[in-house]
Amino acid sequence: MRDLTAGESPILRHVDVPGGARPDPGRGIERVEACDGNWRLPDGVTRARDALAVVPEDVPPPDDPAPALRELAERGVAAVVLTGPAAAPGPERERVVAAARSVGPPLLEPVSPGGAAEVRARVLHRLAGALREAVGRRDRLLRLTARLDRHEEDPGRLLRHLEDECDAEVRLIVPGSTTGWAVLDGHRRLLARIHAGHTHAAALSAEGRHVLLHAVGSAPPHPVLAAARSGPWPRGLRDLPALTAGQLGLLRHPMERRAVEGRLWRSEMALRVSILQYLMVGGVTAAVRAAEPLVPGVLTADAGQVAVVECASPEDRPAVVRACEEAVRRRALVVLCPAVDRHVVVVLPHRPEDGAGQGPGGGLAGGFGSGADATEAAELLAPVVRAPGMAAGIGRPGPWYRTARCYDSAIRALATARRTPERIAVEVGGSPLVAFLPAPARRWAETLLSPLDGLPREQRDQLVHTARLALSYGAAPTARLVGVDRTTAGKRLALVMRRAGLSRGRLVDRAVLDLAFQLGDRPLPGGSAGPDGGASGLVALLAGSDGARQEAERFLEPLDTDTRALLAQWVAHDGAVGRAAVALGMHRNSLSQRLERAGALVGRALTQPGSGCHDLLWALVLTGRLPSRIVHDPVLDGPRPE
């Protein structure tokens, strides 16, 4: 009715009948019927409810219109539209108004003059337009529901859509929660009945608002969809909250299923992180036991290799995990990196044939890029990194207890991959410094680390694994990698360094301890003492290695003279950008940018704490850019003074 009598261009208006019935503006009109000369509906009209009865304009009203109006009211017509003499001022109109006052029904008249046929055509045209609008609203709602279901999006958009369509305030009230809505504060008992399933829908008026309530879902306890308007609900809008509640109910089960799937996926990812953390600290047995039901056969190989895939943003990681699993045919452990929120770690098995590629002590000395597995891994992951902002680094293989070293190798390869058009690289590089130091270097490392031997084995292993990771990646990333807080990781590193006679705050001391740990992985020589029967000093070991010096020159080859001098100043200031920038007379941001460019050239992350800075330090010492006296050797010089 409101579509006909209200709005910017009404086509009907109310006839003032003092004391008589007035049309319900919220009542729907579905039919328009023309009355005969006696103001009665044709015999073929069997359903008059929600219909308008239009009286003819070419005959005067009956002498006593009351019986005809009473019959129309009894048949349930919504209103009678007057045309012709009955609509014109005069005694005939007064007679009709008087009859309507006593028997009803409500009376309407056209805003613009017109006959019965013309008025009927106007009404039908307006009703058709309202029907098209209602169908359009339903269609938009259903299309939005389908899109939300297809893309697994938040159904909150459905509520916002309902607000816009109905010019209403909409809330979804979850059982057990407070409404936070003053208009419903006095109706908590009604809400409780709907939550419990005793009532499925209700309408109420409170504080000048017209509120519709609908239960959501088929099983209690039901959430309640509440929609409130400042005015009455037109019939064309009244059905929309009910339809929205139904669509929310349909979305509810997929949402619940997806929520369960999401919890399972997050639990599985947490388990995978735990497996990676076991591997990073050398807990191979526990890692194999946890991984076998999840990724059978992956950790049963004697060795493995690590790839690190960098995503364009942290939000992309779940999709990248799925893409990596498909790429490696689910024959690898794919993990959300706990240390860097843009990284995905892929742990693959490595099975060298006939022991090929194995180094001393069973380790794998050959570069990852030189084996068939490296090529296969690069080919498998290449499609994953084709998207913008992606890159992948594949590290050299190694035994599982050296997974941390394999991870470090992959991180170095990732730095190279960022500069290549293919956005993927395998870590080949030169041999590490330890490969060029003479055999007595292993004895020196054993002597430096001997103060740790007095600790219980379990505590020593825990401290050493955490310290090695912290030296490679810094305390904060290490804490996430091993599952402890940052303070604990830092304290473990500081304790190890104090026992070794070194200071955590000195870059060169951290490099010395890192080198000692790497040398400790080498087999112990039979007899290699210094001139006094003790271990040789580190400075002498470095000075006596021509191969290490040549490798250092190769490492620094991409850098010009000015950059090498700048890096030497930065290292001399313990890697502190602020103090080094003051000494160099430049802004700290400029120094940071130059460090990033230099790190990209040598394939090391120099702006982050870790082994990349240590490699640079040794290269500068070996080539004479830094004096050897900056190296504190507790084996010869004793512990560093506090």
| pLDDT per position as a tens digit, 261-320 | 778 888 999 999 999 988 988 889 999 999 999 999 899 888 999 999 999 998 889 999
pLDDT, average across residues 240-259: 79
95 or 513, greater pLDDT = 513
Contacts of 163 (CB under 8 A, 6+ apart): 169, 170
- Of 113, 128, 143, the domain-final residue: 128
Query: Are 413 and 450 in the same domain?
Result: no
- For residue 487, the model assigns a pLDDT of 92
Residue 214: inside a domain, yes or no?
A: yes
What is this structure's pTM? 0.56
Q: Do 382 and 342 sit in the same domain of this protein?
A: yes
**Sequence-ordered list of residues with C-beta below 8 angstroms from that of 625, at least 6 positions apart, any chain:** 556, 564, 565, 567, 568
Tally of structural domains, the chain: 4
Same domain? For 467 and 353 the reply is no
pLDDT per position as a tens digit, 87-104: 788 888 888 888 888 887
Residues 606 and 498 in one domain: yes
Cα 4 to its chain centre, rounded Å, is: 49
pLDDT at 373: 56
Assigned token pair, 483: 């599952």
> Are residues 455 and 424 both part of a single domain?
no
pLDDT at 390: 93
Mean pLDDT is lowest, of 261-270, 562-571, 614-623, for 261-270
Residues of the chain above pLDDT 90, percent: 28
Q: What's the CATH number where 168 sits?
A: 3.30.450.30
Start-to-end C-alpha separation, the chain: 90
Q: Is the Cα torsion angle 124, 127, 132, 133 positive or negative in sign?
A: positive
Q: Which residue has the tokens 């490969």?
A: 435
pLDDT of 360 above 50: no
Choose the final residue of a domain: 378, 403, 428.
428
481: its two tokens: 């990698």
624 occurs within a structural domain: yes
Pairing of strands 79-81, 107-110: parallel
Residue with the larger pLDDT of the pair 250 and 323: 323
- Choosing from 428, 456, 481, the residue where a domain stops is 428
> Cβ distance 344 to 321 under 8 Å?
yes
pLDDT higher than threshold 60 for residue 21:
yes
Residue with tokens 């290449």: 382
Residues 168 and 285 in one domain: no
Specify the CATH number for the domain of residue 336. 3.30.70.270
Which of 369, 389, 388 is CA-nearest to residue 379?
A: 369
Tokens 């992350």 locate to: 605
Q: Residues 231, 356: one domain?
A: no
The pLDDT assigned to 586 comes to 93
Stretch 77-87: mean pLDDT: 84
Domain shared by 103 and 166, yes or no: no
Residue 276 forms part of a structural domain: no
| pLDDT at position 371 | 41
pLDDT of the residue at 523: 62
How far is residue 235 from each of residues 28, 131, 238, measured CA to CA in Å?
A: 6, 11, 5
Quickly list H helices, 75-155. 91-103, 116-151
Give yes or no for residue 338 having a pLDDT over 70.
Answer: yes
Question: Which domain range does residue 422 map to?
Answer: 281-428
- Predicted local distance difference test score (pLDDT) of residue 358: 39
| 333 and 419 fall within a common domain | yes
267 part of a folded domain? no
Considering 167-176, 358-367, 584-593, the range whose residues carry the highest mean pLDDT is 584-593
pLDDT of residue 354: 41
Q: How many CA atoms lie within 13 A of 197 on its CB side?
A: 6
User: Average pLDDT in the 563-573 region?
Assistant: 93
Residue 134 lies in a domain: no
353 and 328 belong to one structural domain: yes
pLDDT at 389 over 60: yes
pLDDT of the residue at 473: 82
pLDDT number for residue 449: 92
> Residue 369 — very low, low, confident or very high, per pLDDT cuts 50/70/90?
very low
Give 585's DSSP letter.
T
Question: How is the chain split among helix, strand and coil, in percent rounded to 5?
Answer: 55, 10, 35
User: Are 399 and 509 within one domain?
Assistant: no
For 142-192, the pLDDT digits (tens) are: 898 888 877 777 778 888 999 999 989 998 888 877 766 777 877 888 988
- The answer to whether residue 198 sits within a structural domain is yes
Yes or no: say if 402 and 303 are a contact pair by the CB < 8 Å rule.
no
pLDDT in tens, 37-71: 888 888 777 777 778 899 888 878 888 889 988 88
| In a shared domain, residues 156 and 222 | yes
